[in-house]
Amino acid sequence: MRVLFMGTPDFALFTLRALVESGAEIVGVVTQPDKPKGRGYELQPPPVKVYALEQGISVYQPSTLKDGAFSRELNALAPDVIVVVAYGKILPPYVLEYPKYGCVNVHGSLLPAYRGAAPMQRAIMDGHAETGITTMLMNEGLDTGDMLLTVRVPIGENDNFEHIHDKLGEAGAALLLDTLAVLRAGSITPVPQDHALATYAAKIGKADCLIDFSKSAQTVHNTVRGLSPVPLAFTKTPEGKLLKLIESRVVRAAGALAAPGTVLSLDDEIVVACGEGSVAFTRVLPEGKGRMSAADYIRGRRLAAGDILG
């Protein structure tokens, strides 16, 4: 099978590497254009581009796919299948309909749950004990295509976004290879999604990152780990300074111990009362500083038991 790969961030690298290591015939890689980053706003290539060039694979970075903008390249590459992993652009009909075996997407959820941009983060933030990968044949809808294969992946009590990102990246890479094998053999029947069961995982916004201490300790903990290591949940100190939260644990799951947001203790951890129970923050990122342990923050900051965060 002649494979055209479309993907952009680190998550897509797991699958691209697996394809390369399997000996697949990769006719090209399509990724997003380089983007300015950092203080100097220097153009930085996507991770997928860097790896593809290292492997000697031709890279294409169209600014748009609309109105047949990529049709000439597509005809020249003549892929039998297009593999899409977190590419970041909507595929128009002429791309979706081109390959013999279709456009196969590797999606980080058990569809039809968590369609959309942030399925991994949302599953953790919502407190689920399980998520997974679904491969599907893409159509013009948003993650609405017929499903091919799925694999389930547990979410541990303290797994954060980084842990689940890497677990699902590895699981997705293996599942994609299995998917291509059964497609090539003609031994799989795509299964339509039950749209009545669909949920949507919206892109993470600033409002999602603000900690609400009136929620339960478990909910606060889920929010912190679902947003770590990026973009990070945050609160405000009594001085009005931003305090981002990297790592947490549930101290008590039930009971009202004090007004939500009240600092209960500062013994190497910042223990804070929630609407139900209490949570301890063990690693933080103070405004204008680097990441540090809560113990280091406590030693160098004006924070006292009884203070209110939020």
Q: CATH no. for residue 148?
A: 3.40.50.170
Asked if residue 149 and residue 283 are part of one domain, the reply reads: no
Q: Does 32 reside within a domain?
A: yes
Task: Tell me what the mean pLDDT of segment 138-147 comes to.
Answer: 96
Q: pLDDT class for 39, splitting at 50, 70, 90? A: confident
Are 57 and 29 in contact by the 8 Å Cβ rule? The answer is yes
Task: Tell me what the mean pLDDT of segment 172-185 comes to.
Answer: 98
CATH number at residue 294: 3.10.25.10
Q: Does 74 reside within a domain?
A: yes
Q: In this model, does residue 302 exceed pLDDT 90?
A: no
Check residue 58 and give its pLDDT.
98
Q: In this model, does residue 147 exceed pLDDT 80?
A: yes
Q: Does 309 reside within a domain?
A: no
Asked if residue 194 and residue 172 are part of one domain, the reply reads: yes
Q: Does 310 reside within a domain?
A: no
Q: Does 270 reside within a domain?
A: yes
Task: Tell me what the mean pLDDT of segment 34-52 comes to.
Answer: 90
Task: Please provide the average confidence, as pLDDT, over all residues in the chain.
Answer: 96
Q: In this model, does residue 116 exceed pLDDT 90?
A: yes
Q: pLDDT class for 125, splitting at 50, 70, 90? A: very high
Q: Of 201, 223, 246, which closes a domain?
A: 201
Asked if residue 226 and residue 103 are part of one domain, the reply reads: no
Q: Where are the alpha helices (DSSP H) in the chain?
A: 10-22, 47-54, 71-77, 93-96, 119-125, 161-185, 206-209, 217-226, 294-300
Asked if residue 229 and residue 99 are part of one domain, the reply reads: no
Q: Of 152, 170, 201, which closes a domain?
A: 201
Domain residue limits at 187: 2-201
**pTM to 2 decimal places:** 0.95
Tokens 């890479």 belong to 173
Q: In this model, does residue 37 exceed pLDDT 90?
A: no
**CA 14 distance to own-chain centroid:** 13
- Number of domains observed in the structure of the chain: 2
